[in-house]
Structures are given as C-alpha cells and as structure tokens.
Amino acid sequence: MKIALVTDAWHPQVNGVVRTLETVVGILRNWGHEVLIISPDQYRSVAAPSYPEIRLAMTRARSVGRRISKFNADAVHLATEGPLCLSARRWCRRNKFPFTTAYHTQFPEYLAKRTHLSPRIFWHYIRWFHGRSQAIMASTESVRQQLMGERLPQVHHWSRGVDLTNFSPDAPAPDLFKDLPRPIQLYVGRVAVEKNIEAFLQTDQRGSKVIVGDGPALDDLRLRYPEAYFLGRKSGRQLAGCYAGADVFVFPSKTDTFGLVLIEALACGTPVAAFPVTGPVDILTEKSGAMSKNLNHAIAVAQYLQPSDCLKRASHFNWTASARQFLDGLARIEPDQTAYMSRRFIAKAIFARV
C-alpha cells in the first residue's frame, strides 16, 4: 500500500506526535508499505509565533497535490491541523480524494493557553477541518467521546505503544540522582506553557523536582525555580534512566490527548501523578497512578505504588498493535481515481515542456 502522510509536526521537532508518526511509519515500511512523508522541511517556512522550533510551511494546495499525484497514493492521511495539512485537505477536497485525519492534541485548549481566548472559539475550526475526514484517528475513549460531543462521530481508535526493550526498570539512572533528596519527582516533555509545568513546580512535596526536556519556557522556568533541576533534552537509554531512577513521574498537562511519557514512565516501573483529565484517565489504573485535582495529593499517593503494577499496565501498549490500527483506519482511494490523477499529472508535465 502507498500511503501519503502529510504532517506539520516533523523533525527537528521533538514531541509525542513526531515520535508516534516516526515509529508507526518505520513499522509500516518494515511490513512492505510505501510511505511518503510530506513535511514542513520540504517547503519554505516561517517560525510559529512564540514557538520558533515549530516551522509553518508556506505552500499552495497544488504543490502538495503534485507530490501526492506523482506518488500515486492509495491513501492520504493528514496528521495535524496546521497549514501544510490544510493545503493537502484543500487539494483532496477539490479532487474528491478521501482522506483521514488525526486528533493528536487538545488543539483548542493549546491555542487558548497561548492566546488567552476561549477554547470554544477554536472548536469551530476543528469541526470544519475534521468534518470531511473519512475517519478521525483518536487515541483514547475520552477523546472519542469529546469529538462525538462536537458533532464529529467518525472516530477510529488508534492507540499508542512503548518500546519495552529501551524503557525498562534496569535503565541506569543519571549520576546526579545518587545525591538528590528523595523522593525524586520527574517531569519529561516539552517545556512550554501549555504543559502546565508550573503546577508541578509549585507543589510543596519534600524531595527533588527534575525537569527533562527543552522548549520556549525553559529559560524562564529555570530562572524562577532555581531549586529545581533542569537536565535538558534526553533520549534513548538516557531518558529511560531518568524515568527508572525517579520515584514519581508527574504529568501536569491538561492539553494532551494521550501522553506517550505516561506509558514510558510506567514501563520503567515508575508510578504516575496527574490531574484527572484526558490521557491519564484513559491510561492509569488505581495501582499504576494517582489522579487528583490537587497535584500535591496525587504525588503523595503515587510514590507508594508498586513498580510491578506499573510494569503490568505498560505491557498493554505496543507499537505493532498501534500500526495495525492506523492501517485499518485509512480510507482507500479508488484505483480508477488514482490512475486518472496519475495520467493528469503526466499530461501536465509533458505540456509544461512543450
């Protein structure tokens, strides 16, 4: 199968969306599928306001469409709601190509955090963008219920996985952890306003607070919370060691739809403290995490949960199942329509040379 995957989130960004797409694409290619990635690095782009590491592609629908036509795609998937996927959506609609979309992030709440406007304003765009999708891929039951409540019923379940060969309790902890007061409370992820990290940094639990990650709010938080330890970006076994060496993983975000870091922490035997919101409520059990509107209370409870129960919960998530779910959710393009667009592309190319 030839799959055209259009995404506004791609390297050099480091986030859950990129890691999910990269992992699933790798599995699909190993299964023999061809995947065309259409991403911002292939076009002229500008930095997103207040978030320079995110590049917004500046292109037209026909430019994206030419790549899809030349590839002779059997399916088109739009991973995000940004300008590049907007161009691809426009081309698909214009040429009556079916497409699927995904709801990776609580986009209205994300924008509300950055603009100080009501999330309801941005739901108009979400309904419009996803409304013509053949299937909206969503990772949890909470998100499915939310989208259905917004008059978007065509939801397809697409869960996530964790690499148990990398994320495990035996990953060596950073040397720094040996001298830190316990319990060590860890956050991993983008250091940005929408992640609500201040809610964690303002808790008054004894022990040490450790932040792993990079982002636009890093310098400000490091200056305002000098008692916390900011380790920067980590990956691979080093990241796993941070999870495994911590006593509690703290997830203060209220804008995630899943949270890969949750199951990575669990796979390392580390219990989770979180707010009772989408993501944690779908992933955590009473034995693997503590949820409360009072994050202090959640942290206090979580540190006494058993690593074995965390490992048991993490074992329910695997990338092979995730890739199958993604594949099952794609909308096939009719062969005659694909052939027509391919002939049209060739004819235009010949005419351009005459």
pLDDT at site 57: 85
pLDDT at site 153: 97
Q: How many domains does the chain have?
A: 2
Mean pLDDT lowest among 5-14, 138-147, 272-281, 307-316: 5-14
Neighbours of 256 (CB within 10 A): 27
pLDDT at site 123: 96
Q: Are residues 191 and 153 in the same domain?
A: no
- Dump pLDDT digits (tens) for 128-173: 999 999 999 999 999 999 999 999 999 999 999 999 999 999 999 9
Average pLDDT over residues 282-294: 98
Is residue 257 scored above 70 in pLDDT? yes
Residue 166 falls inside a structural domain: no
Q: Are residues 254 and 153 in the same domain?
A: no
Sheet (strand 34-38) strand order: 34-38, 2-6, 75-78, 100-102, 136-138, 155-157
Q: Are residues 13 and 81 in the same domain?
A: yes
Q: Are residues 296 and 257 in the same domain?
A: yes
- Domain, as residue range, for 130: 2-161+320-353
Q: Are residues 222 and 125 in the same domain?
A: no
Q: pLDDT confidence of 297, banded at 50, 70, 90? A: very high
Dig out the tokens for 19 from the structure.
């890691």
Q: pLDDT confidence of 107, banded at 50, 70, 90? A: confident
- Dump pLDDT digits (tens) for 213-245: 999 999 999 999 999 999 999 999 999 999 999
For residue 79, the Cα-to-chain-centroid distance in whole angstroms is: 10
- DSSP code, position 152: -
Burial class (CB in 10 A: 0-12, 13-18, 19+), 318: middle
Is residue 12 scored above 60 in pLDDT? yes
Dig out the tokens for 161 from the structure.
């996985």
CB 217 within 8 Å of CB 277 = no
Is residue 85 scored above 90 in pLDDT? yes
- Dump pLDDT digits (tens) for 199-218: 999 999 999 999 999 999 99
pLDDT at site 287: 98
Task: Give ∠ CA 60-61-65 in degrees, rounded to 5.
Answer: 125
Residue 170 falls inside a structural domain: no
Q: Are residues 80 and 106 in the same domain?
A: yes
pLDDT at site 111: 83
pLDDT at site 349: 45
Q: Which residue has the tokens 């707010």?
A: 275
Residue 86 falls inside a structural domain: yes
Q: pLDDT confidence of 352, banded at 50, 70, 90? A: very low
Q: pLDDT confidence of 336, banded at 50, 70, 90? A: low
Q: Are residues 148 and 18 in the same domain?
A: yes
Is residue 15 scored above 50 in pLDDT? yes
E strand or H helix at 220, and its extent? helix 218-224
Q: Which residue has the tokens 């979400």?
A: 126
Three-state DSSP class for residue 282: helix
Mean pLDDT lowest among 131-135, 327-331, 339-343: 339-343
Neighbours of 199 (CB within 10 A): 15
pLDDT at site 342: 53
CA–CA gap between residue 63 and residue 267 (Å, rounded): 42
Q: Give the CA dihedral 87, 194, 225, 289, nearest 10 degrees.
A: -120
Instruction: Provide the CB-side half-sphere exposure for 223 (13 A, CA).
Output: 4
Spell out the residues 6+ positions from residue 76 whose beta carbon is closer than 8 angstroms to its own: 3, 4, 6, 68, 88, 92, 97, 98, 99, 100, 331, 333
Q: Are residues 66 and 21 in the same domain?
A: yes
CA–CA gap between residue 283 and residue 276 (Å, rounded): 11
**pLDDT exceeding 70 applies to what percent of the chain?**
94
Average pLDDT over residues 312-328: 98
CA–CA gap between residue 143 and residue 30 (Å, rounded): 30
Neighbours of 50 (CB within 10 A): 12
pLDDT at site 49: 73
For residue 51, the Cα-to-chain-centroid distance in whole angstroms is: 16
Domain holding 269: CATH number? 3.40.50.2000
Is residue 23 scored above 60 in pLDDT? yes
Mean pLDDT lowest among 139-148, 327-336, 338-347: 338-347
pLDDT at site 351: 47
For residue 244, the Cα-to-chain-centroid distance in whole angstroms is: 22
E strand or H helix at 276, and its extent? none
As a residue count, the chain comes to 354
C-alpha distances in angstroms, 36 versus 4, 28, 65? 5, 11, 12
pLDDT at site 260: 97
Q: Are residues 128 and 50 in the same domain?
A: yes
Q: Are residues 336 and 230 in the same domain?
A: no
